[in-house]
């Protein structure tokens, strides 16, 4: 049996897979609140005790960098090591993947119900695939065809320098440059980024902050859901939040186009992470695809590229499963 997991700062999803038949079958699955446990080992041990199932290999997607078989998780004091996990559970093999790489491995296996189409496009068979995931941060990855299957590759492209494309975005860059040593796309196109855009519009006097919204934000531990909800509130429209979301979408579109050019993703561009499924009406407006395509002489290369939003919230777990099964066959 294969143990697979999506390991995040908030929750850990684990599943046991029977690889028989080539497709795999889930025989057990559970979710655990990560912060209540001192380590991944403690969660795995509880899960295995509950199921009573023996596993031989494990594959984990981890919300953090993986270097030399070791990984740390953002917002948790855990350190995970492939060799330590191997010994702790007497396994034949353990694989730790960055969560964006794990999501990328899931992309070729996603079905119609898992995706929302922003641009139908015409995918090239075997063409590279770009993956962007705005959530708490901005994750990026890409896939290339290796002759018989797609192979996923990590990237830290979300930390590349933000490049404004109009006068308003130049003002945003100047505003953020006064507050941060480095202004990356993640400073804008992420859960931490939306509040930065919001404060820009508020502090520069472009829009007034309603009193009712100020009260909500003051009591919120996470400002992003409050801003997004207010942007879509038809009964009590908030121009400040609407402008914030519009700029977020335009800049996300431009960065998606940047990644598409860099990896020449003729196989498609996929938006994953927690934010895109929640802002589909905003992504469906012209501003996203306009920004995606606005690449001067090379705009024609991007027009045929499919653009999809990943709706499957368990994509990282699915990718860990498929990677573990692929390595099983080697």
Average pLDDT value over all residues in the chain: 94
The whole-angstrom separation of Cα 310 and Cα 315 is 8
Same structural domain, 321 and 278: no
121 Cβ contact list (under 8 Å, min separation 6)? 268, 303, 304, 305, 306, 307
Confidence of residue 22 (pLDDT cuts 50, 70, 90): low
pLDDT tens for each residue of 113-137? 999 999 999 999 999 999 999 998 8
Strands (E), 88-209: 93-98, 115-119, 129-134, 138-145, 150-155
Per cent of the chain over pLDDT 90 is: 88
Same structural domain, 52 and 116: no
Residue 75 has pLDDT above 90, yes or no: no
Same structural domain, 131 and 71: no
Same structural domain, 80 and 161: no
Question: At 277, which CATH number?
Answer: 3.40.367.20
Same structural domain, 322 and 307: no
Q: Where is 44: in which H helix or E strand?
A: helix 40-51
CB 102 within 8 A of CB 312: no
Same structural domain, 149 and 76: no
Domain count, the chain: 2
Domain of 40? 2-105+314-328
CA angle (328 as vertex; 325, 329 as ends), nearest 5? 95
Residue 166: per-residue pLDDT: 97
Same structural domain, 274 and 297: yes
Confidence of residue 72 (pLDDT cuts 50, 70, 90): confident
Q: At what angle do helices 167-177 and 239-263 cross, to 10 degrees?
A: 90
pLDDT tens for each residue of 133-164? 999 889 999 999 999 999 999 898 999 999 99
3-state SS, residue 155: strand
Same structural domain, 13 and 131: no
Same structural domain, 95 and 116: no
Question: At 52, which CATH number?
Answer: 3.30.420.40
Strands (E), 218-325: 268-271, 307-310
Same structural domain, 250 and 136: yes
Same structural domain, 280 and 291: yes
The whole-angstrom separation of Cα 297 and Cα 144 is 25
Residue 24: per-residue pLDDT: 73
The whole-angstrom separation of Cα 260 and Cα 239 is 31
Same structural domain, 158 and 90: no
């Amino acid at each position: 049996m294969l143990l697979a997991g999506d390991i995040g700062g908030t929750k850990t999803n684990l599943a046991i897979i029977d690889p028989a038949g080539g497709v795999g079958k889930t025989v057990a699955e559970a979710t655990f609140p990560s912060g209540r446990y001192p380590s991944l080992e403690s969660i795995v041990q509880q899960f295995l005790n509950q199921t009573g199932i023996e596993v031989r290999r494990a594959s984990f997607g981890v919300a953090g960098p993986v270097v030399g078989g070791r990984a740390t998780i953002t917002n948790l004091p855990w350190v995970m090591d492939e060799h330590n996990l191997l010994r702790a559970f007497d396994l034949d093999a353990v694989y730790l993947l960055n969560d964006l790489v794990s999501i990328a491995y899931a992309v070729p296996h996603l079905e119609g119900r898992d995706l929302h189409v922003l641009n139908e496009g015409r995918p090239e068979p075997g063409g590279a695939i770009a993956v962007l995931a705005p959530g708490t941060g901005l994750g990026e990855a890409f896939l290339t065809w290796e002759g018989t299957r797609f192979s996923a590759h990590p990237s830290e492209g979300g930390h590349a320098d933000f490049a404004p494309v109009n006068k308003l975005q130049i003002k945003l860059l100047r505003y953020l440059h006064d507050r941060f040593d480095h202004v990356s796309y993640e400073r804008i196109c992420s859960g931490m980024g939306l509040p930065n855009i919001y404060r820009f519009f508020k502090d520069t006097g472009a829009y007034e902050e309603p009193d009712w919204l100020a009260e909500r934000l003051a009591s919120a531990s996470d400002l992003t859901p409050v801003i997004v909800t207010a942007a879509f509130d038809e009964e009590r429209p908030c121009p400040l939040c609407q402008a914030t979301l519009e700029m977020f979408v335009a800049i996300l579109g431009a960065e998606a186009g940047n990644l598409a050019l860099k990896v020449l993703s003729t196989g498609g561009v996929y938006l994953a992470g927690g934010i895109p499924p929640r802002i589909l009406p905003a992504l469906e407006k012209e501003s996203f695809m306009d920004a995606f395509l606005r690449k001067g002489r090379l705009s024609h290369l991007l027009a045929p590229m499919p653009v999809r939003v990943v709706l499957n919230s368990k994509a990282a777990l699915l990718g860990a499963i498929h990677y573990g099964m692929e390595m099983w066959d080697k």
